[in-house]
């Protein structure tokens, strides 16, 4: 492959970071087993951090962010994949220190890729992306802990964001009553589009459930995407034997709680990591996302964008103004 390809390139000059859509050479990509022509990517909080020069996400620049990609194998040096196969890549080092899905091509190890499950288009795969995988891993943990719809209400924080919105929609589709915790007044989106049963404003949630060492048991389980007082409030308000998953820190990266939820109610706090999750679990969750977990309203939860839209959308995510998911469609698809 000799043709140039377009990408959003982040450059560092004297400690300042710039975003530029640029034509790049495939020779600039790492030489891994798979060369993939990217048709779709998606926009995540981690991408926004990488695009601002956050060295905790990306160590060296210039860099092409994009921790998600779905596309077609152009060249394979692995027996696991053939040219022409549709694949998706999420997590591992993609978009962090390996150039990612904000470019029209990526080169990755075969161990990072997964064949696109039947029943899922490339666009749908990126409508889920890392956010959908993280939501799916969270729900997977709840179900494996024995949580059923009849056990009671499930609290989901950051409910208008990527992980939260998908978690609400999947839970609602599968018969759970969801209390959506959000700082945004998005009643139609949360109740009508996603299927939540009620909305709890973020400040009200903290004031109600995070002021005492233990609160009245209200929720069968919780999915927290923001951290801080929302997470501690969920733990304090979860029924006996319940479980709360934690996957984010946009509100805070610390946790202030007592041991009471754990030793008096047997509550479990389960950490969710989508970066290095084992491939067999990824495969199981992606198969569910492609079938019984796929929300009928998935297309209404996303906004399809182009490369030229990316800088604005990255800023919106950092400012907490995003709703649902942004899916990047490359022009050559």
- Name the CATH superfamily housing domain 130-271: NAD(P)-binding Rossmann-like Domain (3.40.50.720)
CB 242, CB 219: distance < 8 Å: yes
CA atoms within 13 A on the CB side of 106: 36
pLDDT at residue 16 in the model: 87
CB 108, CB 32: distance < 8 Å: yes
Q: Domain limits of the chain? A: 5-116+298-329, 130-271
Identify which of 19, 27, 35 has the alpha carbon closest to the alpha carbon of residue 69: 35
Give yes or no for residue 323 having a pLDDT over 80. Answer: no
Comparing 13 with 150, which gets the higher pLDDT? 150
CATH pick for 5-116+298-329 out of 3.90.180.10, 3.30.310.50, 3.40.50.20, 1.10.3720.10: 3.90.180.10
pLDDT at residue 2 in the model: 67
Do the domains 130-271 and 5-116+298-329 match in fold? no
Q: Each residue of 122-145: pLDDT tens digit?
A: 999 999 999 999 999 999 999 999
3-class SS at 121?
coil
Q: What is the mean pLDDT of residues 221-248?
A: 96
Question: E-assigned strands of the chain?
Answer: 5-13, 16-24, 34-42, 68-76, 86-90, 105-108, 113-115, 154-157, 178-182, 198-201, 219-224, 238-246, 268-271, 302-305, 325-329
pLDDT at residue 221 in the model: 98
């Amino acid at each position: 492959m000799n043709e140039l390809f377009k990408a959003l390139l982040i450059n560092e000059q004297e400690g300042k970071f710039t975003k530029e859509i640029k034509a790049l050479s495939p020779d600039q990509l790492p030489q891994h087993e798979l060369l993939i022509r990217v048709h779709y990517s998606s926009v995540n909080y981690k991408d926004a951090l990488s695009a601002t020069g956050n060295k905790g996400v990306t160590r060296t620049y210039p860099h092409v962010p994009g921790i998600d990609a779905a596309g077609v194998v152009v060249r394979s040096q692995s027996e696991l994949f053939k040219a022409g196969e549709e694949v998706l890549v999420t997590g591992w080092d993609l978009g962090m220190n390996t150039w990612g899905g904000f470019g029209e091509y990526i080169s990755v190890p075969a161990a990072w890729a997964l064949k696109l499950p039947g029943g899922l288009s490339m666009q749908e795969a990126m409508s889920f992306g890392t956010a959908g995988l993280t939501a799916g891993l969270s729900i997977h943990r709840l179900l494996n802990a024995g949580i059923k719809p009849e056990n009671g209400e499930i609290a989901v924080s950051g409910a208008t964001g990527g992980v939260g919105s998908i978690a609400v929609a999947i839970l609602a589709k599968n018969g759970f009553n969801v209390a959506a915790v959000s700082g945004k007044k998005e009643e139609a989106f949360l109740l009508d589009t996603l299927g939540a049963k009620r909305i709890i404003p973020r400040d009200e949630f903290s004031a109600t459930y995070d002021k005492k060492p233990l609160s009245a048991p209200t929720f069968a389980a919780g999915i927290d995407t923001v951290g801080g007082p929302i997470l501690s409030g969920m733990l304090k308000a979860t029924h006996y034997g319940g479980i709360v998953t934690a996957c984010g820190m946009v509100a805070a990266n610390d946790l202030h709680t007592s041991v009471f939820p754990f030793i008096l109610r047997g509550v479990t706090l389960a950490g969710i990591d989508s970066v290095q999750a084992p491939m067999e679990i990824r495969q199981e969750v992606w198969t569910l996302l492609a079938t019984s977990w796929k929300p009928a309203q998935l297309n209404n939860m996303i906004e399809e964008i182009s490369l030229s839209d990316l800088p604005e959308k990255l800023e919106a995510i950092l400012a907490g103004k995003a709703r649902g998911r942004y899916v990047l469609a490359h022009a050559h698809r």
